[in-house]
Structure 1
Amino acid sequence: MLVIDDSTDDRYWASVERVIEVARAKGRAADGVPLLATLAITHPEWPVRAGAVRLLAEHHAGDPAADTAVAASTHDTVDWVAFTALKVITEYRIRAAVPDLIRISGWPSNFTKPGWARKPVGCGAALTKRALISIFGTRDSAELRVLEDEYFADMRARIETARKRPRRHEDVVLVPGGPAIIGAVEESDAFRMLTDDLSLSAVDVPAFLVDRTTVTNARYREFLEEVGDSGEFDHPDQPEERSHRPAHWHDPRFNAPDQPVVGVDWYDGYAFAKWAGGALPSENQWEKAARGTDGRRFPWGDDWDPARVNYVERAFGENVADLDSLEALLVTVEQGVSPEHPILAADALPAGASPYGVLQTSGNVWELTRTNFYTGEDMDPFFKGRHPLDFMNRKDAFHVLRGGTWTSPPACLTTFYRGKDLITDRHMEVGFRCVYEAAG
């Protein structure tokens, strides 16, 4: 493609015209859509992008790829590219652009209602509204509402089907709705694992179902075999070109069918839970499932009992007394060698169950939640296409981990200890379980 000469205004515009003429000659062919779409989306000079948008509509309106590129151009950062896209959408009545247009100005049946409160109108809003009215072919708000419903009927049906996806697991327990004590007021101990954001509160947690055990390798294999690389259940922000296969899938220490799956990140847990008809638990759901309603320190009660939990001393077969001895032991970890049997089966140690019968909410593996560590809100990641180095210091990239793991001392094994992890990390110490809507 020709180079843009920006040494003077005249040369700049002349070279822009030359590029557009070349694009016109090459792009009018039946196979010219990819070329024009690439120019419309990625060319560094906005007049070329705007020209490519116009050419896409002139030569290929009705082609799904061309219409998609034109619709995407309504969100260009330069106003005139977006305006050009809006104008050609109006002219060619490109229906594929409707979802993009309503993101800009809202539903046409609303903004055509008499007396409807309006925000200040600029060029973009005016062009968007005109495009929507052109596509639907009426300004009558009642007619528009019917046409909108018809347009989005299939999409709404798919969303509803996905929302009501049946639960794919029967080994669950009911956690009744009602108040629960969340958090604690703690003092530091010999392991200095105190978190600085703990507080004690009572919260209302609606009823839900939760997996009795963490998700096992056997269950996760079913997910992999059925879903493959389809991406059907992936979070929209999931990194591209990666599979859901666990990082330690071929390590004999971690891949027994009855063991909790590990080596997965938050995106893996999200996709599995969606496939299973549920979700990752919120932090409050997790804590209530582990703790009940009486504010107990451990799932089984207030007193520490090493026989009920898989933690660092059980996994390594050695005693640890403080942070220094803990770290000295942890640095002996060797790939495929030590410790030889770090993780127990997901249904082991039933004496450590929570008041509802949920197993191993203390120890064995940390458990993913859908809660952001810093805000307490559901995770809402937006890091696609970026390397973890770009967001590893961003607070919105860290989710809450709960329950402690096989490398943890007792301080991390309470019902209220809050761990955190980067959304893309895949550790041999981290697994998850799912929650589901309670019937009725």
Structure 2
Amino acid sequence: MKTFTRTTLYLIILSTSLPGCKDKPTAPPEEPESPPPVVSQTQTGIQITTHVGTTHTLILIPEGPFEMGANNGIRNEGPEHTVHLKAYYIDHTEISNAQWNPYAIAERQLPNFDPPEHPVVNINWFQAGKYCAWLGGRLPTEAEWEKAARGTDGRIYPWGAAPDPNRANYLNSGDPFDNGTAPVAYYREGNRDGRSPYGVSDMAGNVWEWTQDEYDSAYYQRSPRDNPVNYELRTHFLHLERVVRGGSWFSTAFLVRTTARDARTSNLQTNTLGFRCVVDR
């Protein structure tokens, strides 16, 4: 009787430890998706309000042709050629710390940085693209960026034909911020008005800006006329070079021209590099 009792007890314990003999662990509940941004129309474009309370003002760039590139710049800027783009909306300013930080907290990324009114920096191409997707948009193509910066009258700088240290933050410009970033949209009033023909701010200097395009110094020799983008969905290549535009506070006046092109590897994070977003119309 004693032996039987011990054997029975052993079998009971064993049976409760076998697979399928106890409740299966349940998967953790999925986190709810973030509410979509709220989009409202404005006189010049749209305003986007996110669920974390940040707002973006985007300006409409109308459909139509413009002259892209330059024959008298650096070799990678030519040849000058006509490009036709569909309409789109582009951020009025570079993405600021005030816009980035609440997103980073909500999406469990490292929040960035102060001061809140300055452009967010140290953001790589992947992080920038993810932010724009969260906003309901994407990074601008190289062509979209250039049209927003120079308009249809072939401007060398967003405001005209010559560099002006009062209108942009670039190396040795003598402005209060030429040793670092300036607040976004600082250059927009009076003799400091550096906005483009469409009213877009910060398209010269302050920080280089990511675009969608893979970098190819000879791309203009074969790019299509309509809505060109040198982008082949190779998003997992960490060291693929992407086009950056606009120059930065550490760039010479020559490099903040509207046609100036440069390249950075996709995973690069630096204090001279930021971004802005576009939304398809």
> Which residue is 1:285 aligned to?
144
Instruction: Summarize the alignment of residues 26-425 of structure 1 with structure 2, pairs less than 5 Å apart.
Output: 29=19, 167-168=48-49, 169-187=55-73, 194-196=74-76, 198-228=78-108, 243=109, 245-246=111-112, 249=113, 255-314=114-173, 341-350=179-188, 351-374=193-216, 376-378=229-231, 380-383=233-236, 392=239, 397-425=240-268
Q: State the AA in 1 paired with 2:211.
A: T
Residue 175 of structure 1: CA displacement? 0.7
- Structure ID, larger Rg: 1
Residue 196 of structure 1: CA displacement? 3.4
Question: 2:173 is paired with a residue of what secondary structure?
Answer: helix
* Alpha-carbon distance in structure 1 between the residues aligned to 2:252 and 2:204: 11
* Alpha-carbon distance in structure 1 between the residues aligned to 2:232 and 2:243: 10
Normalised TM-score (structure 1): 0.47
Is the alpha carbon distance of 1:203 and 1:311 closer, same or farther for their aligned partners in structure 2, counting shifts above 3 Å? Answer: same
Is the alpha carbon distance of 1:274 and 1:200 closer, same or farther for their aligned partners in structure 2, counting shifts above 3 Å? Answer: same
Residue 265 of structure 1: CA displacement? 0.3
Question: 1:274 is paired with a residue of what secondary structure?
Answer: helix
Indicate the RMSD between aligned Cα atoms, in angstroms. 2.9
> Which residue is 1:436 aligned to?
279
2:169–2:178 CA contact under 8 A, matched in 1: no
Question: 1:364 is paired with a residue of what secondary structure?
Answer: coil
1:165–1:277 CA contact under 8 A, matched in 2: no
Is the alpha carbon distance of 1:353 and 1:379 closer, same or farther for their aligned partners in structure 2, counting shifts above 3 Å? Answer: farther
1:379–1:399 CA contact under 8 A, matched in 2: no
2:242–2:263 CA contact under 8 A, matched in 1: yes
* Alpha-carbon distance in structure 1 between the residues aligned to 2:82 and 2:256: 21
* Alpha-carbon distance in structure 2 between the residues aligned to 1:165 and 1:425: 31
Is the alpha carbon distance of 1:197 and 1:219 closer, same or farther for their aligned partners in structure 2, counting shifts above 3 Å? Answer: same
Aligned length: 227
1:176–1:207 CA contact under 8 A, matched in 2: yes
* Alpha-carbon distance in structure 2 between the residues aligned to 1:201 and 1:414: 17
Question: 1:270 is paired with a residue of what secondary structure?
Answer: helix
Is the alpha carbon distance of 1:356 and 1:382 closer, same or farther for their aligned partners in structure 2, counting shifts above 3 Å? Answer: closer
Residues 349-400 of structure 1 deviation map (CA, whole Å, 9 limit, x = unaligned): 111100000001000000111111126422523537xxx5xxx4xxxx1111
Is the alpha carbon distance of 1:245 and 1:266 closer, same or farther for their aligned partners in structure 2, counting shifts above 3 Å? Answer: farther
> Which residue is 1:47 aligned to?
none
* Alpha-carbon distance in structure 1 between the residues aligned to 2:56 and 2:175: 34
Q: State the AA in 1 paired with 2:63.
A: G
2:195–2:203 CA contact under 8 A, matched in 1: yes
Is the alpha carbon distance of 1:294 and 1:425 closer, same or farther for their aligned partners in structure 2, counting shifts above 3 Å? Answer: same
Question: 1:203 is paired with a residue of what secondary structure?
Answer: strand
Q: Identity over aligned residues, as a percent? A: 30
* Alpha-carbon distance in structure 2 between the residues aligned to 1:412 and 1:316: 17
Q: Any gaps of 5 or more consecutive residues in structure 2?
A: 1-17, 22-26, 28-32, 40-47, 50-54, 220-228
> Which residue is 2:13 aligned to?
none
Question: 1:383 is paired with a residue of what secondary structure?
Answer: coil
